[in-house]
């Protein structure tokens, strides 16, 4: 396998760090938005909305870099790779379709935002499960499988709870758990690729 997978994995890891960093900055700049109540997309309306839009693009780029690394490392198949690609594209498009937020004028892009987010969320969860099962089946990283599987389950569980979380006033919390699980999964696999690529990703 090409050692270039390592460089794409590095780009993905740097992107994840940048994405999380921007989210932290937004939380500090917009204390009027609650981390438990407000979805991350709400930062896309009002002050510093441009920064949230940049972060959506960052998520798309880091996901695209991760996709190349996963494909070159033979972790993603064409099918699971397509799912990661859908997540990357929809993440980027969210920057151009602002969501509707209470207290701001209603936009026609609000429904499109939710649709894109839903498609992307489902795609990445299915892709993550597929890649986890493939890694387990091929015995490539036995010690890492439990953590990857746990993150995949957390991602799926939070996705299932997301539609009902609005009633509990916890959309932001559930969504952030979902994003943490997905990005955590990607970070673990990308870190493994970085470590293994110089040895041509030798089987553990």
Position of tokens 């795609």?
A: 123
Distance CA 170, CA 40 (A): 12
Low-confidence ranges of the chain (pLDDT < 70): 1-2, 197-204
pLDDT of residue 166: 84
By CB atoms closer than 10 A (0-12, 13-18, 19+), residue 6 is: buried
Question: What DSSP letter does each residue of 34-53 carry, written as one string?
Answer: -TTTS-GGGGGSSTTHHHHH
pLDDT of residue 137: 93
Q: What is the pTM of this model?
A: 0.93
């Amino acid at each position: 396998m090409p050692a270039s997978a390592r460089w794409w994995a590095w780009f993905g890891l740097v992107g994840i760090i940048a994405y999380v960093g921007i989210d932290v900055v937004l939380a500090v700049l917009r204390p009027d938005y609650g981390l438990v109540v407000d979805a991350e997309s709400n930062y896309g309306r009002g002050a510093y909305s441009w920064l949230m839009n940049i972060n959506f693009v960052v998520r798309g780029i880091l996901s695209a870099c991760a996709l190349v690394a996963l494909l070159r490392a033979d972790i993603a198949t064409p099918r699971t790779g397509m799912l990661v690609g859908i997540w990357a594209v929809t993440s980027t498009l969210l920057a151009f379709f602002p969501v509707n937020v209470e207290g701001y004028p209603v936009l026609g892009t609000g429904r499109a935002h939710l649709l894109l987010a839903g498609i992307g969320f489902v795609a990445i969860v299915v892709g993550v499960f597929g890649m986890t099962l493939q890694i387990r089946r091929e015995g490539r990283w036995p010690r890492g499988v439990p953590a990857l599987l746990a993150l995949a389950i957390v991602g799926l569980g939070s996705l299932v709870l997301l539609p009902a979380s609005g009633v509990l006033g916890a959309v932001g919390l559930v969504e952030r758990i979902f994003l943490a699980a997905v990005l955590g999964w990607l970070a673990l696999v990308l870190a493994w690729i970085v470590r293994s690529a110089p040895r041509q990703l030798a089987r553990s």
